Structure 1
Amino acid sequence: MEALHVAKANLTVYLHPSQTKDVNEAVTRELSSLLFKFSEIYDGVLLAHEIADVPSRHGKILSGLFPYVGVRLTANLLLFAPKPDTYLEGKVVKVGQESIHVVVLGFSAAIITVDDIRDEFRYKIKSGEEMFRSTSHKRHVIKVGTMIRFLVKSFDEEILHISGSLIPSSTGNIKWQSSLANSSRKRIEVLKDFSTGTIDGGAISNDYHVLKKSKKQRV
């Protein structure tokens, strides 16, 4: 997924003196409090963290009413930062005549309005189930539970909400696109095998045209 990346960060975590009994646990707790929140410093939503190095178990004590301890460390951060014109994958959770609602990575909501769904898709209700079905490929269906690939139009950093698009031809039902790609790959392989004189590991008889010509001559 294009929106995911890992960043190596040099951090200073401020701990209350009461937390210094177990520095590693306290630092982990502080970093965990930032999970699933957008960070302007790293321009992304923190999804996971791994402490790579704590140079010292002791930190610099900051003077003040509450003398906090500043602990310097290095950490690897997994960030979610969707940008316009990049692609995301998500699970469809609701389909309506005017929109498709998607959840990305289990926490970020996305919406694709009917104006951002390409013309080949038509809204239908089959056996009480709402869906968008392609008029070009009947098996290309988008309904609740479908994993889809879509283009990012915008990302609201405060509420972690994404506006998406299914206009590009490379977007849609991921499973269907994968099966289509596999079918195309197999057809290409068969054509290659035929052109080189082998199919399924066996040789194609080079006498075919000769035999065909002989039969014509006998007639």
Structure 2
Amino acid sequence: MEGLKVSKANLTVYIHPSKSNQVSQAVLRQLSSLLFTFSEIFDGVVLAYDVNSFDTCAKILSGVHPYFGVKLKVNLLLFSPKPNMLLEGKVVKVTQESIHVVVLGFSSAIISEKDIREEFVCKTKRGQEVYVSRSHKRHVIKVGTMIRFLVKSFDEEILHVYGSLVPDHTGSIYWLDKNLEVDSHSDRFFSYNVFVELKEYFF
């Protein structure tokens, strides 16, 4: 999946003197405060971090409260979706007007009716709304389906993605991977299982 990247960063974390005997814990606490928030500095949502090293010789800053400045080298896993990138997520709601998706378990996405290609028609099956392809009856999008869609825009404040299913290479991942030729997009497939493994690695 596109929109994910690892960034190497040199940071300085400021620690209150009262935490001088617990520097490591204080540093990790501050880094944890960055998780699942958008950072303008790194141009992305911080999903995970891995501290490579930190300077044990903390520098005392002058001022009313002499904070410690601790220098770190950190690897950051970032979620930074841009227009025309391909994302993957799980469908959580389907209506006549839109398809609602969750990406990586935390970011919501919506695909409005005008951004769903005409190939798909919304039908009611067993009391639930589903989108079915007119060309390929087995290409179905319903609650629980993992889909691949195009990014139109990303609201950094609320971590909300506006997506599109207009391109032919978007839709149900299961159907696309089974029926379309494997291309570079398939190589970038980033499942929830892989994401969990990366989280475990970084933490």
Which bin holds the TM-score, normalised by the shorter protein? 0.7 to 0.9
Show the counterpart of 1:48. Answer: 48
Show the counterpart of 1:82. Answer: 81
Alignment pair present for 1:106 and 2:120: no
1:39-69 CA distance string (max 9 Å, x none): 1111000000000111x32311111121110
TM-score (norm 2): 0.87
**Alignment-mate amino acid for residue 164 of structure 1:** G
> How much does 1:9 deviate?
0.1
Aligned equivalents of 1:115, 1:100: Cα separation in 2: 11
In terms of Rg, which structure is larger? 1
Aligned equivalents of 1:179, 1:25: Cα separation in 2: 47
> How much does 1:174 deviate?
0.2
Show the counterpart of 1:66. Answer: 65
Show the counterpart of 1:125. Answer: 124
Map 1:175-186 to 2 at 5 A. Answer: 175-181=174-180
Q: Name the structure where helix makes up a greater proportion of residues.
A: 1
Show the counterpart of 2:13. Answer: 13
Alignment pair present for 1:33 and 2:33: yes
**Higher-RCO chain (CA-CA 8 Å, sequence separation at least 6):** 2
CA RMSD in angstroms, aligned pairs only: 1.2
Aligned equivalents of 2:3, 2:9: Cα separation in 1: 18
Among all aligned residue pairs of Structure 1 and Structure 2, give the percentage whose two residues are the same amino acid. 65
> How much does 1:182 deviate?
7.3
TM-score (norm 1): 0.81
1:161-188 CA distance string (max 9 Å, x none): 00000000000000111121379xxxxx
List gaps (5 residues or longer) in structure 2: 183-203
**Alignment-mate amino acid for residue 93 of structure 1:** V
Residue 29 of structure 1 aligns to a residue in which SS?
helix
**Alignment-mate amino acid for residue 16 of structure 1:** H
**Alignment-mate amino acid for residue 40 of structure 1:** E
Aligned equivalents of 1:97, 1:62: Cα separation in 2: 59
1:138-163 CA distance string (max 9 Å, x none): 00000000000000000000000000
1:187-215 CA distance string (max 9 Å, x none): xxxxxxxxxxxxxxxxxxxxxxxxxxxxx
Aligned equivalents of 1:176, 1:166: Cα separation in 2: 14
**Alignment-mate amino acid for residue 172 of structure 2:** N
